[in-house]
Structure 1
Amino acid sequence: MSQAEQSLLQFGMQLMSRLDTAQVVIDLYIMAILACIWMVKDTLARQKTVLSVMPYIGLTLVFVSIGPLLYLVVRFYQSQRDDK
């Protein structure tokens, strides 16, 4: 596996240095925050604890789309298991 020439933090700072790419990053994190709010509300509506959604929120804050996607997949399989 090859090594990266710059850290993830440096890459993020480089993206934020230009207005057009900064807009994309800001939009992604707004979407991430909305997804986190939805995951918490959905978890509470399904009468589960907020702690059960924390790993997905952590993934969302770091990788943006991975957390909500994984949450939806796990939620689907849990609902399939609960229906049986």
Structure 2
Amino acid sequence: MPARPLALAALLAFGGYTLYVMAISEQSLLAFGAQLMSRPDTAQVVIDLYLACALIAVWMYQDNRRQGRSLAYLLPFYLLTAVFASIGPLLYLVLRRPAPQR
């Protein structure tokens, strides 16, 4: 399956689930993050997630430069990545210009 439809399906499914969870949550996003970082086992998972997001952000930067766009174009994706992790890269993949056919 091509990357764009797969990224769009994942973005819609996970984005919708994220909105649902935020709507029914009894604590703020910041409180939830602080709770996750308060224990070593859950902190390890969060750190691992953000290391992966940092690697994806590097790829996004390199891809963005190859496409001739400015760093300002990436800032909203980076903000979404910092707050919601995979939502930013998924949206980037959905909106990304397709590579020319060889």
Deviation for aligned residue 1:3: 5.6
Distance 1:72 1:47 in 2: 16
Tell which structure's C-alpha radius of gyration is larger: 1
Is there any run of 5+ residues in structure 2 with no aligned partner, and where?
Answer: 1-19
With a CA cutoff of 8 Å and minimum separation of 6, indicate the structure with the bigger relative contact order.
2
> What TM-score do the two structures reach when normalised by structure 2?
0.68
1:53 aligns to what?
A: 74
> What TM-score do the two structures reach when normalised by structure 1?
0.81
Q: Which amino acid aligns with 2:93?
A: L
| 1:62 correspondence with 2:62 | no
Deviation for aligned residue 1:8: 1.3
| 1:9 correspondence with 2:51 | no
Q: Deviations over 1:12-70 (max 9, x none)?
A: 11111111111000011111111111111110012111111111111111100001111
Q: How many residues align?
A: 80
Distance 1:3 1:73 in 2: 27
Distance 2:68 2:46 in 1: 33
Is there any run of 5+ residues in structure 1 with no aligned partner, and where?
Answer: none
* Poorly superposed stretches of 4+, deviation over 4 Å: none
